[in-house]
């Protein structure tokens, strides 16, 4: 079995749901390394042995997690978000979800999808690695045209 890096995130109204899910799936989660934002991290650390607690989401935890995703250090994310409550850091949440799509990180935003992820045969497949889109052409888009790059320089 390959040890996975799993991100756990929950909005305040969904923390209890996520903790219940973690308790129910403790045996499946225990061998893996968990990254969790703020209070969620401290709650999950009471159940699982290997938890890295990041900052609270609104205080930068979402960005910390996004950075780990960009560094390809997160294998999948469980994010129990609250669709019924306006979040003051909604732009951070959208940015985090954008990163999971950009880097093709399997992401569950509700319990049913989280159950599907954790029970998938790919969950324990040590050879499975999600396809990562190659963005090298995007990154090199100005290398063939120095004039276009010069146009971006601030005088």
Q: Where are the domains of the chain?
A: 5-129
- 96-115 pLDDT, tens digit per residue, is 999 999 999 999 999 999 99
| pLDDT one-digit tens code per residue, 123-144 | 988 888 888 888 888 888 777 6
Which carries the bigger pLDDT value, residue 114 or residue 60?
A: 114
How would you write 10-70 as a 3-class SS string? Answer: ECHHHHHHHHHHHHHCHHHHCCCEEEEEHHHHHHHCCCCCCEEEECCHHHCHHHHHHHHHH
96 exposure class (CB count in 10 Å sphere: 0-12, 13-18, 19+): buried
For 5-129, the fitting CATH number among 3.40.920.10, 2.60.34.10, 3.10.150.10, 3.40.50.1380 is 3.40.50.1380
Q: Is 62 one of the catalytic residues?
A: yes
Kindly state the average pLDDT of the residues 117-122. 94
What's this model's pTM, rounded to 2 decimal places? 0.86
Give the separation between CA 26 and CA 98, rounded to whole angstroms.
28
Question: How far, in Å, CA of 17 to CA of 22, rounded?
Answer: 9
Which residue among 12, 17, 50, 62 is the active-site one?
A: 62
DSSP conformational letter for 5:
E
């Amino acid at each position: 079995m390959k040890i996975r890096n799993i991100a756990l995130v929950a909005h305040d109204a969904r923390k209890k749901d996520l903790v219940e899910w973690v308790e129910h799936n403790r045996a499946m989660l225990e061998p893996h390394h968990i990254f969790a934002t703020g209070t969620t991290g401290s709650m999950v650390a009471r159940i699982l042995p290997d938890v890295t607690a990041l900052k609270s989401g609104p205080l930068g935890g979402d960005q910390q997690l996004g950075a780990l995703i960009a560094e390809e250090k997160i294998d999948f994310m469980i994010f129990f978000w609250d669709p019924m409550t306006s979040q003051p850091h909604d732009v951070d949440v959208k940015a985090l979800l954008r990163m999971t799509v950009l880097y093709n990180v399997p992401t569950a935003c509700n319990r049913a999808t989280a159950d599907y992820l954790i029970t998938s045969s790919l969950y324990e497949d040590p050879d499975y690695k999600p396809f990562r889109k190659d963005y090298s052409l995007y990154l090199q888009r100005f290398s063939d045209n120095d004039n276009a790059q010069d146009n971006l320089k601030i005088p």
